[in-house]
């Protein structure tokens, strides 16, 4: 039993630390908490974590499935590049034309925030190589056993870590914005920069062949 708790804790820690670097998922969670509510931010975070759990479980279940569907991830990777690039440009244009307080482009819709989290997480295949590397590393160190229960507990721990990492941005980002009285225009500009960086990084991975 202690072994399973340890595996879950390791998964939680790896995922939590992986969420801390500034990225599209985290900054969106912060924006939702600032411009809407913590409740919506939690819904979004649950959607993000759900897709990450699915991706991770597919990786742990065997790389054969991923290899057999490599073309799918290749297409998804380039869709992500276009998606992030368009959002980056649109967010920047919106910020330049903005007069007064206005919702971020990505949030200016009625899409349920849980489904927004699912959509953005699904269009973020960068997490696939991240989890492939970490799971392989932990298995090689004999920290993670290749058993059904171990994989499930590790996956649950990772999902919890993802939510905790996003919570840091939800509450920390909200506090910073309130503290320094940053308007939505600044948030839109920051989001634009993050999206453009994410698009460039994903394009590099696609060209270099490291998309899975």
Summarize pLDDT for 151-164 with one digit per residue, the tens: 888 999 999 999 99
Distance CA 94, CA 102 (A): 9
Residues 24-81 have pLDDT tens digits of 888 888 888 888 889 999 999 999 999 999 888 888 876 556 556 667 767 777 877 8
pLDDT at position 128 is 76
pTM, full prediction: 0.75
Instruction: Judge contact between 42 and 114, C-beta under 8 A.
Output: no
d(CA 86, CA 83): 5
Query: CA dihedral in degrees (24, 200, 63, 137; nearest 10)?
Result: -80
């Amino acid at each position: 039993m202690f072994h399973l708790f340890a595996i879950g804790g390791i998964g939680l820690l790896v995922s939590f630390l992986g969420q801390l670097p500034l990225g599209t998922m985290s900054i969106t969670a912060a924006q939702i908490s600032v411009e809407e509510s913590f409740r919506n931010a939690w819904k979004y975070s649950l959607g993000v974590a759900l897709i990450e759990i699915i991706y991770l479980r597919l990786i742990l279940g065997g790389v054969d499935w991923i290899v057999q569907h490599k073309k799918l991830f290749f297409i998804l990777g380039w869709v992500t590049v276009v998606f992030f690039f368009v959002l980056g440009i649109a967010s920047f244009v919106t910020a330049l034309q903005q007069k007064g307080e206005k919702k971020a482009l990505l949030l200016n819709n009625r899409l349920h925030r849980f489904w927004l989290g699912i959509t953005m997480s699904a269009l973020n295949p960068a997490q696939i190589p991240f989890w492939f590397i970490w799971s392989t590393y932990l298995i090689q160190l004999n920290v993670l056993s290749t058993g059904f229960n171990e994989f499930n507990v590790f996956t649950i721990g990772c999902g919890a870590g993802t939510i905790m990492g996003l919570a840091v941005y939800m509450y920390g980002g909200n506090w910073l914005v309130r503290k320094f009285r940053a308007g939505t225009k600044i948030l839109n500009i920051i989001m634009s920069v993050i999206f453009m960086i994410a698009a460039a990084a994903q394009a590099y991975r696609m060209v270099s062949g490291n998309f899975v």
